[in-house]
Structures are given as C-alpha cells and as structure tokens.
Amino acid sequence: MTKMKKIGSGMKIRPRVALFGVLLSLLFVMSSVSGVSAYPASYLYEPEIKVSIEAAYYDCLDGDGIENDVFSLIRFDLSSSLIYEYYYWITLELPSGKAFCYEVHVFAWADTIYLRNVFYDYATESGDYTIHVDALLISPYWDSDTVSHTFDPPGGSSGGEPTLIVY
C-alpha cells in the first residue's frame, strides 16, 4: 500500500523565508523607483541663495572723526519659498592678513534681502582690505554661495575697540 501526500498540506513557511521574501520585494521596489525629487511638487525649481557685495568702503561712521570704519552692503537673492532661514559668515581681512569673522543668522520673508554690515574701528592699516561672505541656506532645503570683494582705503588710523553692527 502506498501513501499519497497532498501537495501543500502540512508545509509551513518558515519566518526567515518570509522575512527574506519581504526584504527582496522591498529591494526590488526601491531599485525600480527612479527620479524621485526631495523637493515638493510646488517648487518650480530648486531653492537657491545668491550673494553679492553691492558696496564696500571706509568712512567715519561712528562719529569719532576718524575714517577707520568699514561699511558693506550685502545682497541675498533667494528663490521659490515663503520663508527662508540662512546663515552667513562675513570676514574682513586686513592687509596684514589678520581676519575677523562673524556669523549672522537670518530669518526672512522676502526674496531679496539687503543687509548693511558696519565694522567699527577696523580700518587701521594701509593696503588692500577684503570682505568675504559665505552664505548657507538651510530652509527650505540646502544651498550655498560665496563672494569676495577687495578695496583699498587710503592710510589707516587707530581707533576704539573693533565692533560689527548688522542692520
């Protein structure tokens, strides 16, 4: 007498085999999806930040009668959002190579921002001064830009304690 075994009866799927099947299916789905963007569909193009130095010069800006203050007007062009958050680092490099760097954190609701930066009592050496601006957009999403501008205030004079004012 021969015994017949029904196909599929008494067979159990092992948990490891099931887990392997699920992982293989996920791998297949993930590898077949291409061209996924990290930006919402409402963005027509990727958010960006562009920086330019519109003006940089020295003058007497603190009323002490000494032309040893440095003024800079920085323009930030932003795109495609209602609100922005970004940092920028502004560095004033003296002719001697000594550099002063400041970090500024900005929240904005406009696409074009102008910020005035005044370095009080920094123009104390004769020679070329360089302003460097490094900007990092962090919301919405990430972008960065860098710009530099060199100018030569004649002479140089001593003054008070160096200070940066942003307005």
Query: And the tokens for 66?
Result: 């000494």
* Average confidence (pLDDT) over 95-106: 96
66, 60 in Cβ contact below 8 A?
yes
Model pTM score: 0.67
Q: What is the pLDDT of residue 37?
A: 47
Angle at CA of residue 39, ends 35 and 40, nearest 5°: 105
Among 41-55, 63-77, 82-96, 100-114, which is the least confidently predicted range? 41-55
pLDDT at 69: 92
Tens of pLDDT, residues 120-159: 999 888 888 999 999 999 988 899 999 999 987 655 444 4
| Domains in the chain with CATH codes | 49-166 (2.60.40.3880)
pLDDT tens for each residue of 27-73: 665 555 544 445 455 555 678 999 999 999 989 999 999 888 999 99
Q: Which phi-psi region, left, alpha or beta, contains residue 127 (left: φ > 0; alpha: ψ -120 to 50)?
A: left
Helices first, then strands: H and E counts in the chain: 1, 8
Q: 115 versus 22: which is more confidently predicted?
A: 115
3 state SS of 99: strand
3-state secondary structure of 122: coil
